Amino acid sequence: AQKVTQAQTEISVVEKEDVTLDCVYETRDTTYYLFWYKQPPSGELVFLIRRNSFDEQNEISGRYSWNFQKSTSSFNFTITASQVVDSAVYFCALSEAENNNAGNMLTFGGGTRLMVKP
């Protein structure tokens, strides 16, 4: 069974601070996919990134960066120089692919609410 844990339920920072959101996952599959989604106050879920289990290369996109560590089953997300518009709930999600001939349902973590104050 797959499981995603986001231990930080709420984080509050001041604008321009860096912040890291933690994500730890559990899966028995050797092939799987990890995702981050952003849910702003308006409610929609915005796709941010997908990472494959066989690709541990870290990624940077503007102020966002992701650190995938297979050895610790973690996929952490860092926002550099945070802005008020970054305030949202961020979800980490996992999809298993091995031995699965069906659609790749997502299992979400509980989410981390990030509040960036001016």
Partner 1 sequence: AAGVIQSPRHLIKEKRETATLKCYPIPRHDTVYWYQQGPGQDPQFLISFYEKMQSDKGSIPDRFSAQQFSDYHSELNMSSLELGDSALYFCASSSTGGRRPPIHEQYFGPGTRLTVT
Task: Name which of residues 78 to 97 contact partner 1 (CB under 8 A).
Answer: 91, 95, 97
Give the nearest distance from C-beta 109 to partner 1 in angstroms: 6
Which of 25, 35, 66, 77 touches partner 1 by CB under 8 A?
35
Using the contact rule CB under 8 A, the part of the chain among 13-21, 58-66, 76-84, 107-115 near partner 1 is 107-115
Question: Which residue, chain included where needed, has tokens 């989410």?
Answer: 111
Give the nearest distance from C-beta 37 to partner 1 in angstroms: 8
Using the contact rule CB under 8 A, the part of the chain among 20-28, 45-53, 61-69, 71-79 near partner 1 is 45-53
- d(Cα 84, Cα 26) in Å, to the nearest integer? 32
Residues that bind partner 1 (CB under 8 A): 33, 35, 37, 43-47, 50, 52, 91, 95, 97, 100-111
